Chain A
Amino acid sequence: EIAMTQSPATLSVSPGERATLSCRASQSVSSNLAWYQQKPGQAPRLLIYSASIRARATRIPARFSGSGSGTEFTLTISSLQSEDFAVYYCQQYNNWPLTFGGGTKVEIK
């Protein structure tokens, strides 16, 4: 099983600032990684897939971008808006079982 580790667990950011979230896989997952956003009481929502800056899901703003391959990945939110404060999860889909990271909570500083 591929273990996914996200850091930091909590990220305190002011509105308008840049946020950088990290995800590490215990072995290579190529570019087969996705990022999700989850707000309290809501289902997760797909943001980014194929760990690529161009592979944003439908209606995801351009301020969200992804990068990385192999074992190291990054989600960047270029200028945090109030609606972006949430928990973010990475997920690998290169191997079975499908696995998620533990999440990074982005909170208002």
Chain B
Amino acid sequence: EVQLVESGGGLVQPGRSLRLSCAASGFTFGDYAMSWVRQAPGKGLEWVCFIRSKPYGGTTECAASVKGRFTISRDDSKSIAYLQMNSLKTEDTAVYYCALHSDIYMPRFDYWGQGTLVTVSS
């Protein structure tokens, strides 16, 4: 059974950094692309960043709203995806979900974790 467990959320001041982790199990992590998606309180879903599997170059894509501030990475030996968030802004406050893409060419979000809340406030 696919399981994705996020951690690392919490309260952080504007301008500071935070790193989120997504621990995966139930599948061969290194074979699949992963993403982070966020949801601000009471709002809709916003895709954040995507990382391809190593056989496809391990390259990344990120939304314009976070480009230059957020970085997605992966450690296939530990089956963990990361989201490094720098220069955080109040508008980054959201629940952050990690998600698995079963098809690298058709990046729908097949499986989701339960999310971790990030609150950016002074």
- A interface residues with partner B (beta carbon < 8 Å): 1, 32, 34, 36, 38, 42-46, 49-50, 57, 89, 91, 93, 96-103
Contacts and interface: CB of A to CB of B under 8 A. Distances in A.
A100 B113 CA distance: 18
Contact of A97 (B44, B61, B108): B61
Given A96-B61, A97-B63, A34 B44 contact: no
Binding site secondary structure of chain A: loop
Contact of A43 (B44, B47, B113): B113
B97 interface: yes
Interface in B17-53: 35, 37, 44-47, 50
Given A43-B114, A43-B115, A32 B106 contact: yes
B107 A98 contact: yes
19 contacts: A34-B108, A34-B109, A36-B109, A43-B97, A43-B112, A43-B113, A44-B37, A44-B45, A44-B97, A44-B112, A45-B112, A46-B109, A49-B108, A93-B107, A96-B61, A97-B63, A98-B107, A99-B47, A100-B44
